[in-house]
Amino acid sequence: MLVLLALQQNVWAQSIPSADYQELPDPRPVNKASWDPVKDSRLHAAFGSVDIRYEKRNAPDYNALAQTWRTKAWKGERVHTQVVIWTTRPLTAVNIINGPLKGAGNASIPASAVTTGFVRYVMTDELNKDGSGCGYRKPENFDSSLVADGIDIINKRDIAANTTQPVWLSIQVPQGTPAGLYKGAVVVKTGKETTSLPYEIEVVNHTLPAAKDWKFHLDLWQSPDAVARMDNVKPWSAAHFAAMKPYMKMLADAGQKCITTTIIYDPWNSQTEDVYGSMVKWTKKKDGSWTYDYSIFDKWVQFMTDLGISKEINCYSMIPWNLKFYYYDEASGKDTLLIAKPGSPEYTAHWQPMLVDFVKHLKAKGWFNKTTIAMDERPMADMQEALTLIRKADKDFKVSLAGSYHAPIEPELYDFCVASKEPFPDEVLKARVAKGLPTTFYTCCTEGFPNTFTFSPSAEAAYMGWHAAAKGYTGYLRWAYNCWVKRPLQDSRFRAWAAGDTYFVYPGPRSSIRFERLVEGIQDYEKMRILSAENTAGTAAKLETLLQPFKDINALKTIPAANLLKDARAVLNTL
């Protein structure tokens, strides 16, 4: 079938490295003066800041680092920092050793709750001259550089001379941890040389629910096709599902609520490196009737549901960007396509029987009430035509849209996500939230800030959760969780859009600074939601004051997101 052929033709045969790999050279010159204060060749290590993407080629500012780290955390919260290693001599097999944190009496946080990963460097670019990240681009037209972003899965690696190597340190505080002060240390080892860095976590008497119980409506779109290419496996084979499992588990652990499905081939006009295949096989019989094979759709939805992502099934799309609809024609014995605009007789004849059949299938599976026919950034007139057909198939069929705010169709939309600079009217937003409707915002290439490009300040990823809380949104959407470019580990640039726009995580699977900080902001959203509901000692009013600086995204023009978050989180952790 067309779906499999397209994927097989686009496979980039390779093996995803589980060990070390070669980073690209940094095109920027070394600031030799940065290494002048480093007078000896011993192993250097200290705690840094999560807000800084440390440069590989230059020595860090030692005066801005610390030999200890102290933080506060709720029970069930994941907290993190960076350990910065720098050296004037080559270091061999550098290893990071984690141990348990000891509290009062027999209380402890086990070593298994502590993870570390070498931060890796990927090539990035910059915004357009107009301040956005949109449009097709050539690398030579943009200032490119290496940037710290990926978090590796290996536990040892060599470090070259005159190199800075950050390490991401995370502690997942178990929910049953007694409140109190916990002390631990991270050890950096190379050969017989070691450096131990002590740290403390004050666990406060609040509990963050498990990610599956978070209310934040996180919707990062998944690409099964990209995993098939990177792992060089047959799409929808057992090997494909096995390869996808750790990525989707990582997404579930971030509180993801939505399953991205495709009910047609190529809903986004081949805009990504891997064309999205259809999870539904459309067949036009010789007698003119239609059959629909939902086998792949069913396997994918069940797979994601079993991993804990089960609130919403979003089906893309009745209005693809190129208005092309592919199917297999029995009469001609080949794949063919229809080009039809919503509202045309051809469009109606193509979609009406499918929708009727799809409703029956979803109800038989018990999925109808959580499934939406999903569109993104489509004109209102086209949406209205599609809604007419959907309502004819079943008046209770849910619909979702990510795009501009369209007042006439707002009441028809179950899940409505608006662009960050095109907000809902206040009264509409409050009414939707009161009804329990997913009502969120998104960022894409349009916004220079806040954003999650590989060159974006990492604090902007955490900012998303705070902005959602300040505006009253129920969550956040980003179009690409893992739409990888050709060489995502080495080069995040793409033929279109600013670097990193197409993915949050790296093959491996490897997390990223951006992804970890996005989860940080979601955790803060959940903490504020819980505290507001409890409203002890006037907490709700205090939170309202705390959130004021996060309501206007344009505030980031003059105040870095890191500054806003630092001050606000210091207060939040005392409530």
Express each pLDDT in 394-418 by its tens digit: 999 999 999 999 999 999 999 999 9
Does pLDDT of 4 surpass 70?
A: no
Residue 343: inside a domain, yes or no?
Answer: no
**Boundary of a domain, candidates 183, 207, 231:** 207
Helix (H) or strand (E) holding 464: helix 459-471
Q: Give the C-alpha separation, 22 to 490, whole Å.
A: 8
Residue 237: inside a domain, yes or no?
Answer: yes
Q: Give the C-alpha separation, 86 to 239, whole Å.
A: 40
Region 151-164: what's the mean pLDDT? 96
- What pLDDT does 328 receive? 98
- What pLDDT does 358 receive? 98
Residue 176 shares a structural domain with residue 255: no
Residue 186: inside a domain, yes or no?
Answer: yes
Would you tell me how many other CB atoms lie within 10 Å of the CB of residue 495?
A: 12
- What pLDDT does 16 receive? 79
Residue 229 shares a structural domain with residue 103: no
Residue 377: inside a domain, yes or no?
Answer: yes
- What pLDDT does 15 receive? 62
Q: What percent of the chain has pLDDT over 90?
A: 94
Q: How confident is the model at residue 39 (pLDDT cuts 50, 70, 90)?
A: confident
- What pLDDT does 5 receive? 35
Residue 183 shares a structural domain with residue 231: no
Q: H helices within 318-454, ranges in order?
A: 345-365, 380-393, 426-434
Region 477-503: what's the mean pLDDT? 97
- What pLDDT does 25 receive? 96
Output b/e per residue, 523-556; b: 16+ Cβ within 10 A: bbbbbbbbbbeeeeeebeebbeebbebbeebeeb
Furthest CA-CA distance within the chain: 83
Q: Give the C-alpha separation, 492 to 148, whole Å.
A: 11
Residue 366 shares a structural domain with residue 395: yes
The chain-wide mean pLDDT, for the chain, equals 95
Residue 277: inside a domain, yes or no?
Answer: no
- What pLDDT does 46 receive? 98
Q: What angle (nearest 5°) sits at the alpha carbon of residue 105, between those of residues 101 and 108?
A: 25
Residue 238 shares a structural domain with residue 179: no
Residue 136 shares a structural domain with residue 245: no
Residue 344: inside a domain, yes or no?
Answer: no
Under DSSP, the state recorded for 536 is: G
- What pLDDT does 31 receive? 96
Residue 164 shares a structural domain with residue 239: no
User: Are 414 and 397 in contact, with CB atoms under 8 Å apart?
Assistant: no
Residue 386 shares a structural domain with residue 421: yes
Q: How confident is the model at residue 18 (pLDDT cuts 50, 70, 90)?
A: confident
CATH number for 172: 2.60.40.10
Output b/e per residue, 69-88; b: 16+ Cβ within 10 A: beebbbbbbbbbbbbbbbbe
User: Are 434 and 490 in contact, with CB atoms under 8 Å apart?
Assistant: no
Question: How does pLDDT run across 192-237, given as a tens digit for each residue?
Answer: 999 999 999 999 999 999 999 999 999 999 999 999 999 999 999 9
CATH number for 308: 3.20.20
Residue 450: inside a domain, yes or no?
Answer: no
Residue 241 shares a structural domain with residue 374: yes
The residue range of the domain holding 157 is 21-207
Does pLDDT of 2 surpass 70?
A: no
Would you tell me how many other CB atoms lie within 10 Å of the CB of residue 348?
A: 16
**Boundary of a domain, candidates 207, 223, 255:** 207
Residue 173 shares a structural domain with residue 307: no
Residue 423 shares a structural domain with residue 467: yes
Residue 176 shares a structural domain with residue 105: yes
